[in-house]
Structure 1
Amino acid sequence: MTIHRHFLARLLCASLAAGALAAPACAQDPWPNRPVKIVVPYAPGGSADTLGRLIARHLAETFKQSFVVDNRGGAGGVIGSQMVARAEPDGYTLVVSGIGSHVVAPLTNATSFDPIKDFTHIALLGGPPTVLAVNVAQPIKDVPGFIKQVKSMPEGLSWASPGQGTHGALIGEAFRQITKLNLVHISYKGAGPAVADVAANQVPAAFITLSTAAGNIKAGKLRPLAVTSAQRVTDFPDIPTFKELGYPQLTGTTWFSLSGPAGMSPELVTKLNLAVRKALQSPEGQAELRAQNMETFDWDAPTFNDFVKKEIVHWKQYIAPPPTR
């Protein structure tokens, strides 16, 4: 009897000890149990920042935890993105990625990062299309007229973009290569100055985001000729798409997305992907996208990852390779 009591006592102690060891693991709260940082690798106020803050608000509501936006601009989105690539893949450090930082930058700067191997791509956020617009004083009414005008100018025609590495610069260069036109690129430091000079007829044309050009289009200072969206934009139904004009290669947007470091768990990626898509389909999300003339697609993570890979392959042919060292 005494031996039996001693055996039970030892068994009870062992069970309690095992329970004590397991308790911390059981007591851990599921992700997120502390604030999550969303790095926006651009200055405040732009499309990336707008989308980052929109998603941060909705994720905070969904997961009942703080999602803090941290603007880390510089080098076309590379600096902030590099910081996230080096972070732990635990879901507590994310980045607003996109075509500028994760397609153009790696193709023009081989030392930055690998946009596929160094990141976990979670969900598409959306972005504005690029528009080819001219000053209304120019004798150009449409894309065929634009081509005819350029061919009649031995010195070529100047066009503005927000800067090297932007979607506007990418589309303009692709259009030049496809049409073989003599187009002279003037690279600005930002979309604002570029649009201002075209509106003032200092430069005759620009490839610029529709969201930036919209005000001057509505004010009658710019004449839009074509837009890179897959379909005509709801608020600008009279602007034809490049696709319907015979240039399907020029379909695309200045898209932004949500990504994290490489190695995030598939379960967490799915959880975030569903939450982001729900946020974008909400009334607030839809209103913000329309106000910014942005389009998005309701894609799961695998579909979005396939899209990123295709974008890299597609645009590589229009981007000069980085200099060798």
Structure 2
Amino acid sequence: MMPHRRSIARAFCATLALGAFAAPACAQDTWPNRLVRVVVPYAPGGSADTLGRLISRHLSETFKQSFVVENRGGAGGVIGSQMVARAEPDGYTLVVSGIGSHVVAPLTNASSFDPIKDFTHIALLGGPPTVLAVNVAQPIKDVPGFIKHVKSLPEGLSWASPGQGTHGALIGEAFRQVTHLNLVHISYKGAGPAVADVAANQVPAAFITLSTAAGNIKSGKLRPLAVTSAQRIVDFPDIPTFKELGYPQLTGTTWFSLSGPAGMPADLVQKLNVAVRKALQSPEGQAELRAQNMETFDWDAPTFNDFVKKEIAHWSPYIKQSQATK
């Protein structure tokens, strides 16, 4: 609803308030009284799309109104996110935000949008950690062995990621910077093709989401060396975390979240935050997240907003250094 229309609506309700029909006439203004768009700024099939559809289904059931996913991919999540940033902050246009679109993209393309000023961040949805995995034919058993092997190669070692702006690319670049290894990044257009080439030993290693690599790990085609989660994953207890191996700065997930345009009413943000957390912490929600090797945290909106700011501050030096060396 455009500003002048909202003014007309308020004036209309104020006029009706003088009469007996005020309550029924203005009650229709209660959110949500029509379809809510949930923009996923990526193509269908990925983690963002999975989480967007999961939470949209739960919100539809909670509010008895349709929450419909709309995929608007392109430019690493920038195109769909920009569309939402320009929408009315009335709660009818939301976006599945995340580390790629709201941390990496704005730092690599400052003209895209301001990830703090241009959005209302509502709730963390969750996401999978990233795993460093190698083809089982490689003579590498663990992270110390990986480092030793790379140092023995004059030409360095190639590694795959799902593409620029992804958590895999970010973790791989940060690992290269902290270890000073000669690692050559091969950027793919998606996690599927990247993990397929590593499983076929076309590329020796990858920094990839655990949810994408899980099948090839279980089938014995990939050997996981370390994962970026804060604790070991229940279904993969033998994979050490980067933190326990001495790399705490590589802790994190490919997190996704629910956001809206800047200026959304505080009571609406609170209502959505509570509903999202209830859905994700339910037995059904937890089962769906675990099936995707995803983790989440039960945070209120202020805590989540602080997290977004900390993520930007934490990853900014690595992204800027990466840009400087290109």
Q: Give your verdict on TM over 0.5.
A: yes
Superposed, 1:1-325 pairs within 5 Å as: 18-19=18-19, 22-23=22-23, 26-320=26-320
Cα deviation, residue 249, structure 1: 0.2
| Partner AA of 1:290 in structure 2 | R
Distance 2:38 2:16 in 1: 41
Percent sequence identity over aligned pairs? 90
2:173 is paired with a residue whose SS is: helix
Q: Which amino acid aligns with 1:118?
A: D
Give the 3 Å change call, closer, same or farther, for CA 56–154 of structure 1 in structure 2: same
User: Deviation at 1:156?
Assistant: 0.7
Larger radius of gyration: 1
Task: Identify if the C-alpha distance between structure 1 residues 88 and 141 changes in structure 2 by more than 3 Å, giving closer, same or farther.
Answer: same
The match for 1:4 is none
Counterpart amino acid of 1:133?
A: A
Count of aligned residue pairs for this structure pair: 309
Change (3 A) 1:185 1:34: same
Deviation of 1:190 after TM superposition, in Å, equals 1.0
Paired letter, 2:197:
D
Amino acid at match of 2:189: K
Q: Secondary structure at the match of 1:320?
A: helix
Structure 1 distance, partners of 2:292, 2:275, is 21
Q: Aligned partner of 1:244: which letter?
A: E
**Structure 1: how far apart are the matches of 2:23 and 2:287?**
46
C-alpha spacing 1:17/1:69, structure 2 compared with 1 (3 Å): closer
Measured after TM superposition, the shift of residue 287 of structure 1 is 1.2
1:39-61 C-alpha deviation (Å, 9 max, x unpaired): 11111111111111111111111
State the Cα deviation string for residues 92-145 of structure 1 (Å, max 9, x = none): 100000000000000011111000000000000000000000010111100000
Counterpart CA distance in 1 for 2:17 and 2:295 is 56
What TM-score, normalized to structure 1? Answer: 0.92
In 2, the alpha carbon distance for the partners of 1:192 and 1:84 equals 28
List runs of 5+ in structure 1 lacking aligned partners. Answer: 1-14
Matched residues in 1 for 2:27 and 2:246: separation? 60
Aligned partners of 1:191 and 1:16: how far apart in 2?
56
Where does residue 7 of structure 1 map in the other structure?
A: none
2:130/2:209 contact within 8 Å kept: yes
Shift of 1:17: 8.6
Structure 2 segments unaligned to the other structure (5+ residues): 1-14
TM-score of the pair, normalised by structure 2: 0.92
**1:281 to partner: Cα distance:** 1.0
Q: 1:11 corresponds to which residue?
A: none
Query: How many angstroms apart in 2 are the aligned matches of 1:62 and 1:254?
Result: 26
Structure 1 pair 219–90 and aligned structure 2 pair: CA distance change class (3 A): same
